[in-house]
Structure 1
Amino acid sequence: MTATAQRPEKQAPLAATPPRRVRKRRKKPQVGLYILVLVLSVFFVGPFVWLLLAALKSPGEWTALPVQILPAQPQWDNFVHALTDMNFLGYTGNSLTVSLTYSVLVTLSSAAVGFGFARLRAPGKGVLFIILLSTMMIPQILTLLPTYVMFSQIGLLNTYWPWVLWGLASSAYLVFLFRQFFAAMPRELEDAAIIDGAGWARIFFQIFLPLSRPVLITSFLLSFVASWGDYIAPALFLDLDHTTLAVAITAWYRDPHDNVVPTVQAAAAALYVVPVLLIFLFAQRYFIRSALGSGIKG
């Protein structure tokens, strides 16, 4: 009797096991970080809110003790007096003239100097760049008196020429900002332009300058805010007719007894901040992009 070999039965193919779902770990909300941001925002926004509340108070509420945080009845007339008791729009025009002139010139001059440090080769370039950066450690207040004497001797007081010269002289910090941005660009850009017969001026204005829009807007924003908020230089170099809005606010808004009306001054100061806030709201994305893109590159 012969044994028949039994063929092994074909096993059914194993069903493909479904892949295990990778569970995404939900990030726990960082409550501590949110609280820190909230506290910092209160510190930054608090003074402006206090200024607005002060602008809506009456003179009696300003001097009342204990201090009243909220006005009993908002005094919107303070903003009307701030606009009409002095030539508010005229002084605003002076501030815009000074700030725009300085901002445009210092942005272009700093971009040109930063381009030279980033892309051109010259002996001693590194030493000159270190000397330029070292000037940022000199407080500006130390140079105001010698600058005043120099400008008075050449007849530039009570004019806007000092801001033109300061703008043409560039800014050490803005030069550093542009140098960092231009140094990160590929060398092929200028090599291709040189092969096509372009000079360095054409390379700068037609290639590098259009590509540096975030840094240009950031430079303009920083210089505009610095010039708009400057009090010492306009008070020192300009008379009351040509001075800026920052100086005019402290010189006007007085009662018949020549006492300062603080509530109207607060209303004028609140209006004084509005142009800077509007410019920052429109340019904040370029400002953040420049801070992330140029400040960390060598």
Structure 2
Amino acid sequence: MTHKDQDTHVLDFPGATALQNAGRTEPPDAAVLATAHSLLRQAIAADAGHAVPATAAATVVVTPRFGRRRLAACAAAVAAVAAGVAVLPVVGVGSRPAATASAADLLNSMAGRAASGSQRRAPYWKTTVKTWVEGDRTHTDDYYLSRNKLVIKTQNGRTVTKKAPPGGTSWSVGDRQVSWDNLDKLPTRPDALRRALSAGEHGAAAAEQTVRQSGELLTDSPASPRLRAALYRVLAGTPGARVTEGVKDGAGRIGAQISWKWSKSFAHSAHNPNWIVRPSDGQLLERNNVREDDAGHITERDTYLYAGPADSVR
């Protein structure tokens, strides 16, 4: 085929088929284009090395309820149309695209709201979790986590107490464990916090570990507002995120869904994780998993009805 008989109407880039199938769409809002152009200029400037002015468990070690999975860096596309939401890409570093513009904007906005919040100190961190796994019944349990134990009050009236191992309650941060009292010592500069969270892994595996551990700290720990804000800022710069607005969680609450796509090369199972967040106050409402080959097929979900300090076990 020569240049004379090539079909110049074919869009030859990743995501082109979805764009063609979507048919005609209305032009994007001017403010959206301005933001995208500004982000692209900044990314190009960073790559060129100069500035461009912008115009616009049995032991109490907290582990994920979902299995360990790896995060894929999504291929950059000029545009995508999904559930009626257009997503503009942001140029990433090297061959790894960053989170989509809408995902980065949402996460940075949540960081600002989290930073402006307050949180009192208390002996327990309580989470009320509505849990559902495919093939099993839904149950709602209360978890009271302290420095030296975990008390679970189940829906059927049982109370289970698990003692912490020597050293007390801790969370995974990178390749080490961080105790309750040392959470406040974690860095809150996004670049330093990212290094801590990704320690021990590389590439897509490091991104997956960063996302998974951030989710655990945001839901299952008494992280300070500053640390919560820093976690969201780290996530805003982590590749693989996509946002869909107006999604219901397991309790019927409406939020924005952040979908993280895992790479088949790294995944431990054929599932991809979703978060449902409430942008108005920076709360993570739910974490769920969907089948890798069917984004609409949820296989398990943890819906957080409450996450916050508690003075006693009730």
Q: Which is bigger in relative contact order (C-alpha 8 A, separation at least 6)? A: 1
Structure with larger Rg: 1
TM bucket (normalised to shorter chain) is under 0.3
Q: Could you state the TM-score of these two structures normalised by the residue count of structure 1?
A: 0.22
More helix by share: 1
